[in-house]
Amino acid sequence: MRNTIISAIILSLFAIIGTALVSFTYDATREKIKTNQRMALLRNLHSIIMPDEHDNDIFTDVVMVNNPTLLGSDKPIPVYRARKQGKPVAAVIASVAPGGYNGNIHLLVGIYQDGSLAGVRVVRHIETPGLGDSIDEQKSDWILGFRGKSLLKPQKSSWKVKRDGGEFDQFTGATITPRAVVKAVYNSLVYFKQNRELLFRPMPEPMPDMRPIPDIKPGQKPADAQQETMQP
């Protein structure tokens, strides 16, 4: 009986120590993970909008938007705004191409103020290696071909892969993936055109404290005077 109790205590101690170590490791690496994720996102953003094209913090100048039809997600998605001397330069929309061969394809679609594409990057996908993964910049330069395109260049009927009568190349043995990306980029351009003013709306300033400054009577504490002022 005594040995059983001792064994149970030892096992409990090991469990507590193990849990503590896991928790400590998670806490120690959590901030590093966040920092690495931020740096990876900034690298992608700055591969679309060059650092010298804006002077604001593009990572924090962000607005959340929602349009499942044009942006491919039921959830709000971020739009990163680039400005220079307070004037709009470009918006980078984190849109989704839901029609990939193996699932959703997550994009960053950069659009200049004039409606032309600054660039497109794929940030996450699960497309077939050697086929659909050619949308990845590290696999081919196909994704770079969007730069400079717009709703008018080419015309709407050409915003398709060549197999469908459009202008954009498909991949050998893989048409579904590039087709989904082309459609998502076009839809992002449409959304930008429809919501340009909303997307570049200035970030709201903090509301000032409009409560009147209380008069402090002789012998009265400031906190008591504040309570009197707040009373109806």
Q: Is the pLDDT confidence value at 223 over 70?
A: no
pLDDT in tens, 133-148: 899 998 999 999 999 9
pTM for the model stands at 0.76
Q: Is the pLDDT confidence value at 209 over 70?
A: no
Q: Are 91 and 168 in contact (CB under 8 A)?
A: no
Q: pLDDT averaged over the chain?
A: 85
pLDDT in tens, 110-133: 999 999 999 999 999 989 888 888
pLDDT in tens, 88-113: 999 999 999 998 999 999 999 999 99
Please, what is the end-to-end C-alpha distance for the chain in angstroms?
A: 70
Burial grade of 50 (CB within 10 A; 0-12, 13-18, 19 or more): exposed
pLDDT of residue 35: 80
Q: Are 70 and 188 in contact (CB under 8 A)?
A: yes
pLDDT in tens, 156-177: 999 999 999 999 999 988 899 9
Burial grade of 158 (CB within 10 A; 0-12, 13-18, 19 or more): middle
C-alpha distances in Å from residue 16, one per residue of 4, 13, 19, 23, 40:
18, 5, 5, 11, 35
Strands (E), the chain: 62-65, 77-84, 87-93, 96-97, 105-112, 117-124
More confident residue, 79 or 41: 79
